[in-house]
């Protein structure tokens, strides 16, 4: 009698685990990320105007430049930086007068937060 009871308990456990796994599999949302061409092209520091060069050089004490890109339509320079202390990355935007563009800065920070919050499968 004990064997019959244990057999039924084992079968019930198998069905429960199977149903839980299939329920969890259907609940995962599909996430699609599309990367658009943002209009930025690679550029050298020497090719930028003096105001932007001065702004970038001011950051070199604390950061290493990872990438420099320029968008001629928006007249914006995108600078990807790596902090020397802890190797964290940061993206900064400058207009042609060498001033930081706060709007693009907030947008990129928001995108980075969204990327970090995405679940990994």
Q: Is residue 64 part of a domain?
A: yes
Domain count, the chain: 1
**Arithmetic mean of pLDDT, 33-58:** 83
pLDDT grade for 106, boundaries at 50, 70 and 90: low
Q: Is residue 81 part of a domain?
A: yes
- CB-based contact 92:99 (threshold 8 Å): no
User: How high is the pLDDT of residue 16?
Assistant: 75
Q: Where are the beta strands (DSSP E) in the chain?
A: 41-42, 63-71, 76-83, 89-95
User: How high is the pLDDT of residue 12?
Assistant: 77
Q: Is residue 26 part of a domain?
A: no
Name the more confident of 99 and 13: 99
Q: Is residue 15 part of a domain?
A: no
Residue 116: pLDDT over 70: no
In which domain, by residue range, is 80 found? 41-117
Q: Is residue 22 part of a domain?
A: no
Q: Is residue 58 part of a domain?
A: yes
Q: Is residue 66 part of a domain?
A: yes
pLDDT in tens, 65-81: 999 999 888 888 999 99
Q: Is residue 29 part of a domain?
A: no
């Amino acid at each position: 009698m004990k064997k019959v009871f244990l057999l039924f308990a084992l079968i019930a456990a198998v069905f429960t685990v199977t149903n839980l796994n299939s329920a969890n599999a259907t609940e995962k949302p599909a996430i699609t990320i599309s990367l658009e061409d943002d209009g930025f092209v690679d550029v050298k520091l020497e090719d930028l105007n003096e105001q932007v060069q001065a702004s970038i050089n001011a950051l070199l004490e604390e950061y290493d430049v990872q990438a420099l890109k320029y968008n001629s339509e928006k007249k914006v320079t995108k600078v990807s930086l790596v902090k020397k202390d802890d190797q964290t990355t940061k993206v900064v935007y400058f207009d042609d007068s060498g001033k930081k563009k706060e709007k693009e800065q907030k947008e990129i920070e928001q995108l980075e937060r969204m990327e970090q919050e995405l679940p990994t499968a």
